[in-house]
A and B are shown apart, each in its own frame.
Chain A
Amino acid sequence: MIRWLVGLIGLGVTATSALAADPVMIGVGYLGIAGTRSTLSLVEQPADNDGVAGARLAIEDNNTTGKFLGQRFALEERRIKEGEDAVQAATDLAARNGFIIADLPADALLKVSDALRERGTLLFNAGAIDERLREADCRANVIHTAPTRSMLADALGQYLVWKQWKRWLLVVGSHDEDKLFADALRRTATRFGAKIVQERNFEDKGGARRTDSGVTLIQRQMPVFTQQAPAYDVLVAADESEVFGAYLPYRTWDPRPVAGSAGLVPRSWDASQDQWGAIQMQNRFVKLNSRRMTALDMQAWTAVRMIGEATSRTNSGDVKKVTDFIKGPDFSVAAFKGTKLTLRDWNLQLRQPILLVDGRMVVSVSPQEGFLHQVSELDTLGYDRPESKCKLK
C-alpha cells in the first residue's frame, strides 16, 4: 500500500515536471520493405523513401503543434530485407514506439498485427489496398489510411459513368493483384450501370522494362492487341504489376481513352493536387524531401497526422487514450481533400475522396455529384457497412 502510494507520488512528480520542462515523447515507428518495385514509366519510379518521406513531414507538422502542447514526436524507420522476419522487426519497433506506420504486403501485415495485439500497439496500414484486410481479415488494432481497390475502382467508375463512357473494354494482367483490381472494376461496373463489353488478358511473359528500342516494338504490339474489339467507349486496364498498362494510351487500335492502371488513374493523392490549401503542404514536402509527393507519402502523412490530431485533442501521449479517441465518434482529420476525413467504425478504414489524375493534372475528384448516400457520400466508394464481412477483433 505504501509502496503503491510512493509510486503514485513519484509518477505525479514526473508528470508535472514533464509539463514544465520535458515534453511528452511520442514514438512512431515506420515499417516497410527494402527496395522499390520497377515501373514502366521512368518518371513514376518510386524513390527509396517513398512513404516514409510523408511520415517525416507529418512528424515535423506535429512537432510544430507539439511545441505549444509540450509534446514531441520522433520517427524510427525500419526496412525489412528479403528473408527477414516482419514480426521480429515489428516487435523490436514496438518496444520503443506505441504507434507503427506499416507499408507491408497483406500477409505480413496480418502476422504483425496478430503478434502486437496483446501489446496494445496501434498499427496504421499506409500501403496495402487489399479488400480482405478490411473485410474477412480485418483487425481491431489496424487502421487503414490507404484506400481499398474497391474505393479506387468506384471512384473511377463514378466518373466514367458521369462522362457517359459506359462501355468498357477491360484488359487484365496475369498477376494476382491485377486480377483483384479487375474484380473490383467488375463490381463497380455492376453497381453503377457500366457494361464490360469484352475482357482481354495480357500475359506477363517476362522481359525488361528498360530497353533501348522499346518504343518501336510497343507501337507495333499494342494496336494489334487491341484490334477487333466490340464497340467501346473507354479501355479500362487492370495492371497493378506494371507490365503493360502504361503502353496503352495513344496506341489502341480504336481511338479511345485509357483508364484504370494507366491514363486516367484513381489515387489517394497526386503531386499535382493544389486545391483546398494543399499547395502549402506540397511546398513543405518538396522543401523537406527534394522531390514531389506521392499517394503513399500522403497515406503515411495522414496516419502520422491522425496520431498528432488525437494527441493534441486528448492532450496525451498515452497509446490507449489516443487509440480510443481515434476510434471514437468525435474523431476527424483534415487532409487537404476539401472535406473532413473520418473512420468507418465497422472496419477502421479512413473515408476519403479519391483523385482522378492523368500524371499532370487532377482531372476530377470522386465521389461525383449525384452519387448519394444516407450517411456520407464518401461511403459510395468501396464496400459499405451493410455489405461488410468485417468483425473487428
Chain B
Amino acid sequence: MSRMWRVGLLSGLALTAAPAHAFIAYVSNEKSNTVSVIDTESWTVTKTIKVGQRPRGIDFTRDGKFVMVAVGDDDTIQMIDAKSQTVVDSLPSGPDPELFAQDAAGKILYVANENDNTVTVIDLEKRARLGDIQVGVEPEGMTISPDGKTLINTSETTNMAHFIDTSSRQIVANVLVDARPRFAEFKHDASELWISSEIGGTVSIIDPGKHEVIGKVNFEIPGLRKEAIQPVGIGMTRDDKTAFIALGPANRIAVVDTATRKVMKYLLVGQRVWHMAFTPDEKYLLTTNGVSNDVSVIDVAAQKVIKTIQVGELPWGITIAP
C-alpha cells in the first residue's frame, strides 16, 4: 500500500519499470548536511534533501510515511515527509543524537545521546520526550529484541552492551565486549545478539537469555594490517544464515556464515564502509562508504558488488522504504 504513492510519484520512470523491484533508499551524508535519495530501479540519486547539521542515524517510521534522521550538531531528530521529500518536523531527542531504535509498533523511539551518557525515550505519536535512561560512556548502537521486551544499547568507551527492559526502562544486564562497540543486531529468531567492536576488531555473539558472550567473529585479510579492520555495521539475512559485516577502513564487507561464525568471503566496496540496508525483497544490500563518498550495491544471492553510486560527502547511514 505504502509503495503505491511512491510509484505514482516517480512518474514516467516508474510506469515503465516493474514496480515490485523499485525501492527508495535514503542516505545521510554526515559532512554535506544532506540526505541523498536513491531510486533502486535506475540506481541514481533522484533528490538531495537539505537537513540539519551532521546527519547520521537514519530510519523510516514503521508506516513508511516519514524518514527520521538524527542531526547531532542540531541536537534533534528531523522528520522527512517521504511524500514531499522535505523536512517537516523535528523530535525532542536530547543532546547529540546519533543512532536510534523504534519499537515494533512504531510508537516509541529510543535515542542514543553520545554527549551525556543517556538513552532518551520519545513518544513518536505525541512527539514528546518520555524520559531518559542512564547508560555507559558514549552510547551508540541501538536495537530492540524481536519480542520487543529488551532494548540493547552499546556504549563506546564503557565497552558494554546494556540490556534494558523496555517496560520498566531499567538496565537488567551489562555484557562486556571488545573495544568501542558500535552496532548491535539480533538474529530474527532472537537466538543471538551480534555486537561489532570497531577498535577491538571483532564481532561478539551474545546469548541474549544468559547475557554471555558465546562466540566471536574474527577477521583476517591477507596484505592488510590488523588495525585497519574495524567492524561497524551488521546486516543479517531474514533466514539468519548469512551476516554481512562492514569493516570500515578495510574497505570490505565480510560475508559470514552464521552457523560456523567464519568469514566466507570479503567483498571490496568503497572506502571506510560503515552502515548498510537490504532492499525489502533482500535482493540487494546497499552500503555507505564514507571516505569515497559513495554507496555500493551488493547482489545478495551472487555475493557480488554490482554498482557504485556517488552521493554526498561522508555518507553515514542508510534506510530503505519498507
Contacts and interface: CB of A to CB of B under 8 A. Distances in A.
Interface in A306-356: 309, 312-313, 332-334, 339-340
B115 A68 contact: no
A65 B159 contact: yes
A313 B201 contact: no
B218 interface: no
A280 interface: yes
Interface in B109-146: 114-115, 117, 136-138
A169 B138 CA distance: 45
B45 interface: no
Interface string A59-92: 0010011001100000000000000000000000
B199 interface: yes
B199 A61 contact: no
Interface stretch (B2-10, B172-180, B262-270, B304-312): B172-180
B160 A68 contact: yes
Nearest to A313: B176
Contact of A334 (B96, B117, B179, B225): B179
A68 B138 contact: no
Contact of B179 (A61, A281, A333): A333
Nearest to A374: B225
Contact of B180 (A69, A283, A305, A334): A334
Interface string B152-172: 000111111010000000010
Nearest to B54: A279
B200 interface: yes
A65 B136 contact: yes
A333 B158 CA distance: 11
Q: Of B137, B157, B176, B201, which is in contact with the most chain A CB atoms at under 10 Å from its CB? A: B157
B114 A340 contact: no
B137 A61 contact: yes
A233 interface: no
Interface residues of A, number: 21
Interface string A280-310: 1101100000000000000000000100010
Nearest to B228: A339
A270 to B, nearest CB: 19
A334 B159 CA distance: 10
A65 B160 contact: yes
Interface in A83-104: none
A334 B161 CA distance: 17
7 contacts: A64-B136, A64-B158, A280-B96, A305-B157, A312-B176, A340-B179, A340-B201
Main secondary structure of the interface of A (DSSP, over half): helix
B227 interface: yes
Interface of B: 96, 114-115, 117, 136-138, 155-160, 162, 171, 174, 176, 179-180, 199-201, 225, 227
Nearest to A342: B227
A334 B157 contact: yes
Interface of A: 61, 64-65, 68-69, 277, 280-281, 283-284, 305, 309, 312-313, 332-334, 339-340, 376-377
A174 to B, nearest CB: 40
Contacts of A339: 199, 227
A340 B200 contact: yes
A340 B225 contact: no
Contact of A283 (B115, B136, B158, B200): B115
B141 to A, nearest CB: 13
A313 B179 CA distance: 11
A281 B157 CA distance: 10
A159 B158 CA distance: 34
A379 to B, nearest CB: 11
A283 B137 CA distance: 12
Contacts of A283: 96, 115
A305 B201 CA distance: 19
A377 B159 contact: no
A280 B136 contact: no
A65 B137 CA distance: 7
Contacts of B137: 61, 64-65
Q: Which 3 A-B pairs have the closest CB atoms?
A: A65-B158, A334-B199, A68-B174
B156 A277 contact: yes
B314 to A, nearest CB: 11
A389 to B, nearest CB: 27
A377 B171 CA distance: 40
A355 to B, nearest CB: 17
Nearest to B225: A377
A309 B200 CA distance: 12
Contacts of A313: 176
B176 A332 contact: no
B181 to A, nearest CB: 10
Contacts of B227: 339-340, 376-377
A352 to B, nearest CB: 12
Q: Which of A332, A333, A376 has the most CB of B within 10 A?
A: A332
Given A280-B115, A283-B96, A334-B159, 19 more contacts: A61-B137, A61-B158, A65-B137, A65-B157, A65-B158, A68-B158, A277-B138, A281-B157, A309-B179, A312-B176, A332-B179, A334-B156, A334-B157, A334-B179, A339-B199, A339-B227, A340-B201, A376-B225, A376-B227
Contacts of B157: 61, 65, 281, 305, 334
Contacts of B159: 65, 309, 312, 334
A277 B56 CA distance: 13
